[in-house]
């Protein structure tokens, strides 16, 4: 580096610079140049592979030391690969998982449009036991309030009658929804407000349309289950068909609900909060045991897989510590795609339940047995499967042929 001459002049003032000031500036310039060279040397990329490895090891060592200083000494790093270990002990009476949407209790609403609606929420809490029922009834009362934009407690019988006519003829509501509106109105106007003289509720009639549910043949069921590649989806679908379960009943099962030795499957807190027992095949029990040995969750049979890398080890590790069961929408969306690819007319998780009941009726099972296995409250609900069986059609045709053959010609 070339140093400045002592005879230089200042750029600002134009006066000659002293010898001492020139030396001081020269030392300062040399120090700055040395610092830049050191900085460039520190960030130079290594050229050889060995230098790269050494630099990586040193960087990892420094990172571990910094992490050890920040974290408490008692903490230990999680293992990179999950090892299969015995399942941790489970409390004798574990809480059952919740499957499906969470319905907020009307009592927990922060505000109510009118005091009468808050009183109705308290009335529902005293009577109706299921959160879904309380949520549905309060929703219908809120629709009435929004339709009239007034306090429901001040409505007359003619106004309520006009509202039911409006939703039935103009909005074309389903019969079941109209019956729920009538039930909500009866609870509010008769049971809570004491309008015993209202006769509109005896005039409301809404009968369901007799629609036959979609049913798959046995060959279509085999094709559908064989098309599902992932085991965490195929096993619950297979269990729904083999035991005739609802999707919420299937995904809410725990390891305490299976009696493998007795061939029994206990359905806890099913529809309307009822419990029931259904038989389960030994082959299905083996499939469930093999599947549980894969994730080893301490409580759930079908835990949520979560999001992340889809390697079997990572999926099993996430399932073993899951806080809830598999979402209902996962199976529903999967069957929608499988139905399109297989060109099936209809395929939902509930279609497998309908197929189970229909195939049992075709095999000769009594209608009361099917009613008990499905958990129906009314036998008329189960009678619809008798219209779907091929055996009943064949038997009726054979009987007609026999009656006609015995008649004189």
Judge whether 192 and 333 are in contact, CB under 8 Å.
Answer: no
41-50, 86-95, 179-188: which has the highest mean pLDDT? 179-188
Mean pLDDT of all residues in the chain?
A: 78
Phi, psi of 224 (to 5 degrees): -65, -50
> The tokens of 59 are what?
């960087």
Q: CB of 242 within 8 A of CB of 258?
A: no
Q: What are phi and psi of 132, to 5 degrees?
A: -65, -40
- Three-state SS annotation for 171-204: CCCCHHHHHHHHHHHHHHHHHHCCCCCCCHHHCC
Residue 288 pLDDT > 80? yes
- Enzyme catalytic residues: 246, 271, 350, 353, 376, 385
Count CA atoms closer than 13 A to 220's CA, side-chain side.
20
Task: Look at 6-15, 19-28, 326-335, 383-392 and tell me which has the smallest mean pLDDT.
Answer: 6-15
The radius of gyration of the chain from alpha carbons, rounded to an integer in Å, stands at 37
Of 59-68, 191-200, 254-263, 338-347, the least confident: 59-68
- Cβ atoms of residues 322 and 300 within 8 Å: yes
Tell whether the model's pLDDT for residue 197 goes beyond 70: yes
Residues 400-408 have a mean pLDDT of 61
Q: Supply the pLDDT for residue 233.
A: 92
Lookup: tokens for 78: 């999680």
Tokens 């003032």 found at: 13
If DSSP codes are grouped into helix, strand and coil, which group holds residue 254? strand
Q: Are strands 258-259 and 276-279 parallel, antiparallel or unpaired?
A: unpaired
pLDDT confidence of residue 207: 83
Q: What is the DSSP letter of 359?
A: H
Report residue 142's pLDDT band, with 50, 70 and 90 as the boundaries.
very high
Determine how many CB atoms are found less than 10 A away from the CB of residue 124: 25
Higher pLDDT, 394 or 171: 171
pLDDT for 4 beyond 50: no
Burial class (CB in 10 A: 0-12, 13-18, 19+), 47: exposed
pLDDT tens, residue by residue, 201-211: 999 988 877 77
How far is it, in rounded angstroms, from Cα 238 to Cα 265? 14
Residue 295 has pLDDT above 90, yes or no: yes
d(CA 125, CA 111): 16
**Calpha distance 319→311 (Å, rounded):** 12
Per-residue confidence band for 323, with pLDDT thresholds at 50, 70 and 90? confident
- Sketch out the chain's domains with CATH numbers: 106-202 (1.10.150), 218-394 (1.10.443.10)
Q: Residue 327, class by beta-carbon neighbours within 10 Å (0-12 exposed, 13-18 middle, 19+ buried)?
A: middle
Determine whether 45 is exposed, middle or buried from the number of CB atoms within 10 Å of its CB (0-12, 13-18, 19+): exposed
Q: Where are the alpha helices (DSSP H) in 1-47?
A: 19-42
Strand partners, 325: 303
Percentage of residues in the chain having pLDDT higher than 90: 38
Is the predicted pLDDT of residue 46 greater than 50, yes or no? no
């Amino acid at each position: 580096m070339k140093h400045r001459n002592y005879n230089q002049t200042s750029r600002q003032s134009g006066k000659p610079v002293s010898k001492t000031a020139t030396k001081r500036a020269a030392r300062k310039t040399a120090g700055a140049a040395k610092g830049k060279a050191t900085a460039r040397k520190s960030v130079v990329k290594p050229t050889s592979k060995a230098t790269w490895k050494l630099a990586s090891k040193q960087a990892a060592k420094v990172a571990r030391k910094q992490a050890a200083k920040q974290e408490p000494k008692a903490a230990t790093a999680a293992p990179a690969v999950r090892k299969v270990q015995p399942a941790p002990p489970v409390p004798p009476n574990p809480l059952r998982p919740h499957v499906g949407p969470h319905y907020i209790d009307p009592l927990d609403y922060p505000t109510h449009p009118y005091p009468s609606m808050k009183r109705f929420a308290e009335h529902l809490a005293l009577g109706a036991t299921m959160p879904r029922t309380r949520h549905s009834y309060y929703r219908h009362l809120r629709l009435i309030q929004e339709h009239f934009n007034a306090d429901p407690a001040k409505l007359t019988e003619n106004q309520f009658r006009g509202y039911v006519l409006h939703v039935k003829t103009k909005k074309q509501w389903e019969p079941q929804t109209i019956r729920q509106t009538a039930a909500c109105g009866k609870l509010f106007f008769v049971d809570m407000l004491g309008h015993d003289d209202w006769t509109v509720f005896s005039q409301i009639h809404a009968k369901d349309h007799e629609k036959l549910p979609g049913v798959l043949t046995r060959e279509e069921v085999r094709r559908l289950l064989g098309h599902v590649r992932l085991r965490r989806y195929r096993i619950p679908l297979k269990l729904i068909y083999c035991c005739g379960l609802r999707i919420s009943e299937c995904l809410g099962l725990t390891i305490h609900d299976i009696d493998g030795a007795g061939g029994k499957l206990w359905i806890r807190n099913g529809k309307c909060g009822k419990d029931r027992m259904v038989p389960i095949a030994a082959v299905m029990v083996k499939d469930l045991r093999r599947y549980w040995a894969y994730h080893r969750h301490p409580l759930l049979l079908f835990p949520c897989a979560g999001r992340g890398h889809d390697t079997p080890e990572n999926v099993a590790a996430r399932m073993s510590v899951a806080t809830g069961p598999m979402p209902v929408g996962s199976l529903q969306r999967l069957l929608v795609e499988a139905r399109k690819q297989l060109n099936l007319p209809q395929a939902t998780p509930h279609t497998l339940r309908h197929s189970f009941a229909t195939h049992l009726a075709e095999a000769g099972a009594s209608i009361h047995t099917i009613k008990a296995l499905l958990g129906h409250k009314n036998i008329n609900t189960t009678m619809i499967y008798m219209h779907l069986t091929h055996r009943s059609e064949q038997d009726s045709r054979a009987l007609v042929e026999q009656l006609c053959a015995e008649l004189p010609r």
